[in-house]
A and B are shown apart, each in its own frame.
Chain A
């Protein structure tokens, strides 16, 4: 009953009810929260609780699925004229930001127009992490929907132009999108340098528009609004068909996967079921939800695929990295996309030196994992950063 950021939803159906695909099963009165729809047809047999990837127990409904999918009769394309109706329709679709954090899209679109002068829609077509290829497939498979979605958002929200940012290591995608936008005057495609974390909000805004989002401010303040290509394409499809957000594309990859692939997975499918489809060579000893940099290891086969799960990676026999001493090479300083000093964070955290942590601005760390990755001493720098942030928040 909770996908991404926002208030958790309350079920609107009861145990024993028969639900059809696309039927609303949970909603919340809070604005920053997206409703949840059933992704399958079947009978609700149990109301239980499952562990989400952050280790919190969340409420869940178990649906005994039938062989066939019957779409709910209430599914009709929404009628939209004004911005308010558009935002209402987006909320009803249950869409959340698919880039990773899962901020409800309608809340993102519902910015204060008097306060912020938003004139650029930045469409994020650069993968958020290595291994993940969902955005690439979206561009290759549904480029027309993306263009339609962008035009719809530009029109309804009164934004003047859009920039699609795609990393250079996907030349096919760049070429395809350039062809599509050839006769669209207010949409441009920008090829971005390939590096991690290109998909991060502030990095992307800077690389596409050369505007700087200041600390603790939203991209609105730089006149930008950011949406993932998949979200944009989904909005276009939803406005045509009315089918809510009930499935998403998930990358299956890892060193024991025979055929790395992108699967369209109904939301709420458990990891165990997905593993049966994944064509694995061996029993994995590490499963990661999300990318290798920021993703979380999961152990429970009952963990459901959520709205924000972009990839599931299966690994076995990963090299065991023993952390050695810091040799002060400074590689983490250069790798940090926020120009912070992870080594100093680590030392100050060990000393519990809050004053120094505050001075070093550990709160700006976005936990991208670059410092841990680059460290030749295999030190868990990102984890220390997270702990240091928690320490600061707690004090």
Chain B
């Protein structure tokens, strides 16, 4: 098994042709680099993957340009450049079905990937949308206007028929929201953690739309990640530190494990002078301030993958807080880190494997919102059936099933009774023993007898006449 990290940057302002803006797909546990993407640069959270492997795509919203670039897995250069209504600051993909973009004007755009239809455009924020996250039918957006807006994806998809309204708007933050994390679980248990430059991480229950806990950090929070089992949060700060926020803690008095927060409480985290819960890998190296721009936690919750404003990406062991790997640095601030896992020997990841019939592009994303009439003429582009997989050998022959079939069929060839029903045919008489043939035989016999009788009579007559003739002479 292998874990793969995709990471890209926001580009270098001095590089006009973006020749140095690369994105990479690298293994977390080995030195293997699966792929690199040229001229790939996006705003923070502005790149998404439809998956890893053949026919999957990387969709990247170009930083400060009204263009989306689509890369096919296995190809370094963009396969498509799609013009869009405005520069997008962030992207999110919902169940490989919808592409949601957050604009710098504060609008969110909802496209259907299979048709390219623009299903909805919503005036969501007063300033740029910084981050969009989707889980379990809820789309949550955080903006520079410090608001967090929650939508039901079903409402957005049906916006042309029933104009969608936000499920909830959270306005507790006072400065821009920089990152969001939505937990997993049953819909009634879903929570959203918001990170903001007002030095807080807030936890809301989506079902009840209530603030559960506010964590107050010493500095601005720029990025946020959660342990897969939600035992802790990791907050990337604007001073280069990553702060761990435990969500369970032993009570020092009672020695009982307790959940941190709840009941709308405010939990203030004081500066961690002993660095017990702080990661310092991105700490300022003297060349200006470093901001931890992106964070992700690996599948097993033991490593933290973090990127900073100087283009450094580290893999840090959470237990020891030691850097395990340093990825190839990027030309600008790290804008996106995405993790995926796969089998180590997965042939689908072989970049040289090429199916000439694979779907290389996505439908062109429309720039006009779809109306109810257009929905009736809804057309999607899809490859039907399954992608021809590479040859992985054949399945073992199921001998037991085969023998069972043989036994079942053998019944028809076996005389299961104690009567020997073999018909012994003697001579040719029995050949026409029955049926139509027998009838014909009888008729023929009768005809033959009649003819014989007639011949005999004729012969007798002839002989009599002949005798009379002789006697007459």
* A and B associate: no
